[in-house]
Structure 1
Amino acid sequence: MSCLFCRIAAGELPAHRIHEDAEVLAFLDLHPIRPGHVLVIPRDHHVWFEDMPEPLAARVMAVSQRLARALKATEGVERVAMVFTGIHVPHAHAHLVPMHHLHDISSAAYLANGLDSYSLPPQLAPAEMSAIAERLRKALA
């Protein structure tokens, strides 16, 4: 087994485990954006979050909600961000990040006016928005 998160889930590698059940594992990120940054993973290997069966995705969300409430209480924050990225480890995982600053999980698109403000990226033209919406509706049909 070469997947880092599968090895953590199997107990082959150490982790600061926060929650465990038959389907989901949550543990502290080794390189946190903020202290308390938690990763929530399905025990079964799914590369992308959209590939998880819906009941498993719902379980990941339910565990994440419970953890977010706990993070608010323990880290003294008003907001906890939840992001699925899949950039570094090819195993679906949610990041729960206690937000101490409005840019704790921002991309460069929101930083045009510096760290102490929040810049809105430019809007797309209404025709482009309509075309995107139509493509997505067709893909869902």
Structure 2
Amino acid sequence: MSHDCLFCRIARGEIACHIVHEDENILAFLDIHPIRPGHTLVIPRAHYPWFEDLPEQLASQITTLSQRLAREMKTLYPVERVAMFYTGIHVNHAHAHIVPMHHRHDVTSAVYLEHGAEDFTLPPAPPRQELETVAAALRQRLAP
């Protein structure tokens, strides 16, 4: 793990997050600037800067959990689709976004750039209690 990496610090428990799932290899927690309620990040506990750096087995574990989350999100949020995508725009630690899609542009730049690139803003951060309620609902649905 990297000493200064934000997601490594979250994985070590140094920074609080709203955990949805955790095991020895991966951690899933809510994005604090969600595109939609339920927007979850899935990260490896070990530091890999980019998704292409992930060992194949670890990438498979992330995908398998993401598929489970997507199936539960479809029931919890009655949506037809759930997006999964890897990015590394803000944090250089491989991470997948799992997002219930209420609108076809939920995960496209059209939503964020409708007023031009200079006016880009992050989605608002919901109140802490709202995030915990969402995390609890997803944890319950993932429980064996």
Could you say which residue in structure 1 is the equivalent of 2:16? Answer: 14
CA distance in 1: counterparts of 2:13 and 2:76, whole angstroms? 26
**Greater than 3 Å deviation, 4+ residue runs:** none
Q: Which has the higher contact order (CA 8 A, sep 6+)?
A: 2
**What is the aligned-residue RMSD (CA, Å)?**
1.4
1:84 Cα deviation from its structure 2 partner: 0.5
Give me the identity figure in percent: 65
Considering only CA atoms, is the larger Rg found in Structure 1 or Structure 2? 1
Task: Spell out the pairing of 1:72-83 with structure 2 (5 A cutoff).
Answer: 72-83=74-85
Could you say which residue in structure 2 is the equivalent of 1:107? Answer: 109
CA distance in 1: counterparts of 2:80 and 2:43, whole angstroms? 24
CA distance in 1: counterparts of 2:14 and 2:108, whole angstroms? 33
Structure 2: which amino acid aligns with 1:25? Answer: L
Could you say which residue in structure 1 is the equivalent of 2:73? Answer: 71
CA distance in 2: counterparts of 1:53 and 1:77, whole angstroms? 31
Unaligned runs of 5+ in 2: 115-144
1:75 Cα deviation from its structure 2 partner: 1.2
What SS does the aligned partner of 2:105 have? coil
CA distance in 2: counterparts of 1:98 and 1:12, whole angstroms? 28
TM-score (norm 2): 0.73
CA distance in 1: counterparts of 2:7 and 2:35, whole angstroms? 19
Whether 1:92 aligns to 2:89 is no
Could you say which residue in structure 1 is the equivalent of 2:139? Answer: none
CA distance in 1: counterparts of 2:109 and 2:6, whole angstroms? 26
What SS does the aligned partner of 1:89 have? coil
Q: How many residues align?
A: 110
Could you say which residue in structure 2 is the equivalent of 1:53? Answer: 55
CA distance in 1: counterparts of 2:90 and 2:53, whole angstroms? 17
1:107 Cα deviation from its structure 2 partner: 3.0
2:41 aligned residue (39, 53, 67): 39
Unaligned runs of 5+ in 1: 113-141
Could you say which residue in structure 2 is the equivalent of 1:115? Answer: none
